[in-house]
Amino acid sequence: MKRLLYLLFLLPAATAAAQTPAQLRAYLPEVEGWTIADKVESFTPENLYDRINGAADAFLACNFAEMTQLSYNRVHSDTYITIQCYRHDTPPDAYCIYAGERFPDAEFLTIGAEGYREPQVLNFLSGNVYVKMETHDKSAEAGEAIEKIARTLAKKIDAASTLPALLQRLPEANKVEHSELYVSQSFLAHKFLHSAYMAQYREDGNEYRQFIIDAGTPDAAKQMIKEYLAFAKQEAEPKEKELITINDRYNGRVDMTWDGPYITGRTYE
């Protein structure tokens, strides 16, 4: 129900941001020395497996809606650039898979909400679309082309794209840069914990993770903690803004508290 209401709330924006394969094709810029391939392929949740095999599971878990595959061919060459645009239901869903595939030590770029590049690869997030670009052409020209395409595409998809606002509620001190993740379901492999944003932290040689869950309402937050206590077979009445320590037989010690609709907490290595 919560998800339905959320989607209804987002519907006007989501509809406006929905990119059809034809639109995405039209967004592609002209790049000297490269031609845009005529072939435009699209994949739905039913056949994404046909294109990316078992990796599709992770996309489907993040409410994948449609993938459009486009490409550029280099003139007088057999090299090419492939562009895969994964559209998800909402921007947080797109962030879910983008952040899940991102490595913190990549070379990050200000493209769309966020982007990064590696040799022959450039991936970025814009609105509810996660774009993955790749080429096997190792030349500088290919690197310049791929970045030009990315910057144009990111603005066309959603010029005002930003990272999910809830990430700002995670503490900045000691946070490992670009380690944030969004787990869209079964956080800590518990279904009752639904979804969470989390990040890695390092402090005095110790590592831990901070997380935040938006339960929707204070009552839902309290109920979630009560379910966790019941799972851990701990008898306690959770009180708002008080620290609760869960002794999770799978995940070890989990410290958490709730404030309004938000549950914040920490897990340890």
* Residue ranges binding another protein (CB under 8 A): 46, 49-50, 52-55, 57-58, 60-61, 82, 84, 100-105, 118-121, 132, 134-136, 138, 176, 179, 181, 183, 185-186, 188-191, 200, 207, 209, 250-252, 267-269
Closer to another protein by Cβ: residue 188 or 244: 188
Q: Is 136 exposed, middle or buried (0-12, 13-18, 19+ CB in 10 A)?
A: exposed
Closer to another protein by Cβ: residue 15 or 250: 250
Closer to another protein by Cβ: residue 60 or 159: 60
In the bound complex, what is the minimum distance in angstroms from residue 15's beta carbon to another protein?
23
Closer to another protein by Cβ: residue 41 or 237: 41
Question: Per DSSP, which regions of 8-111 are E strands?
Answer: 34-36, 41-43, 64-74, 80-88, 107-109
In the bound complex, what is the minimum distance in angstroms from residue 246's beta carbon to another protein?
13
Name the residue among 171, 88, 172 with its Cα closest to residue 126. Answer: 88
In the bound complex, what is the minimum distance in angstroms from residue 89's beta carbon to another protein?
13
Supply 113's token pair. 């909400």
CA-CA distances (angstroms) from residue 105 to 117, 199, 200, 212?
A: 10, 14, 13, 23
Q: Determine contact, residues 123/101, Cβ cutoff 8 Å.
A: yes
* Dist. CA 158–CA 152, nearest whole Å: 10
* Dist. CA 58–CA 226, nearest whole Å: 29
Closer to another protein by Cβ: residue 101 or 259: 101
In the bound complex, what is the minimum distance in angstroms from residue 72's beta carbon to another protein?
13
In the bound complex, what is the minimum distance in angstroms from residue 61's beta carbon to another protein?
6
